[in-house]
Structure 1
């Protein structure tokens, strides 16, 4: 198939593109290579994809309406994996417009391209952040998600609603994937694992928010990439058992689905730090701080829907995944 992967120079985008290329698909990667974090890391990821004969890169912002329209017209993609977005919860407090431009305007351009150019299936990144103020654990697709606590989360919920609308109006099959705290080699420098590893190796203190009482369902990037590809291969279909009189958020009478992708094995932040200490080989200097605005104290994914749909569930143990990241970090930064 010919597949568009947006955010191809990103953390998840690179890994998904590698899987698709390895099995023989053609991949057109799109990324704007912005400076939200060091673009050199993005270029290094691209350098791993560009030797593949089946890969072609377009530097393009998904918020560029005319540019995206030209791309869809020229390429006639079979399927689309939309991973480009303005990421990060805290940054949405200081630059909200970036989230509207990328996550709302950009997603509209993706939907329009798919609608008008015969795309068979759109798979897009949502986020565990859509669960917002929910406290019932584990988080389930069957739960209501009407209480976001950050603009980032609100834009991701908006993506799910917009996708449902296009599935309803135009019969476009769409599947949203709620990623849970993705980590691993080639990860983002603004994420905790990267920041903690960098600080520990330099002998500098790490910031431990919520006084260490955070719980996260850390999910290894290879598991995320495999989940994306498996979902891409199973096109969303209407649920004939959907009851409009008692609607289930996880179901629809149109070709629309949403799934959690999480490790289904949450760990405390202190356990996470201990695993990094073991991999790095030295203790961390810890600065304990309160919960940050827009953050949530815990995440925990129910992945039974994903497993029933694809036969797959994430499986990488956190200590092993952290060890792989630290090994990559030492190699990449020559430490």
Structure 2
């Protein structure tokens, strides 16, 4: 996974990599240390990812990236944006600067193989993108992804972004029964765009609060899975992430252009989910993954990830619905 990550982002151009080695023992550290564009950091004694990941990221970004564009993906995330194949990353950054943007709102789109949970296993001999090629397509099943306002209490400490995306194939496969929609909700999901303004103002703020009340399923036993991230931002010294890069503690001007993180959350089958649960480093001490593991012997665990809403990912054009309205950022300035 680490080699694939470095190879993918090297193609972005002049990129320097900063890794924190949290006592790994799979040989990845030795490989990283041999790479000329990689710097490896190790936590002090007593520090751990589960407890201190927020501090690790803030300290490194404050020191190395203050006032600069920074990419902060997890190892299982690959950034992709509109016209990715023909538009260099440097052109994207130039467009963001011309717009006056400070961060990019991204949707995490889970990629999966054909087959059940146990078949979601990576083969190290080929790129991950060639193995996990399928995703849930909201054009085929409106409501598969849900665009909601973030809770107001949460925004007091983590103001960016004010909106969030939930849903995806893990939600659909393992928690579909608890995400049942009313007729009104189904109608709204079918008739409103997936991505509206990611940073509404004025009447848009009132509208987002109303939509949250109408679209939020209050009967859910399992918390919504947050598929929102800010993996590309012009770092402001003193900022902090909420756990992962799902939200940040200061106001950042979001670009009108949105992007996607190709996300590979399950690549070691049931054993990999057990590993995540044992480490307890995800949200709610990996409670969401514990729920999945508890259902490992159920019908949902034996069902294929592929369904009627599945599409095959071949290029950035397949994700157009996640990029929002087209805008010529350079011309608009």
- Category of TM-score, reference length = shorter chain: 0.3 to 0.5
TM-score (norm 2): 0.33
Q: Which has the higher contact order (CA 8 A, sep 6+)?
A: 2
- Report the structure, 1 or 2, having the larger helix content: 1
TM-score (norm 1): 0.33
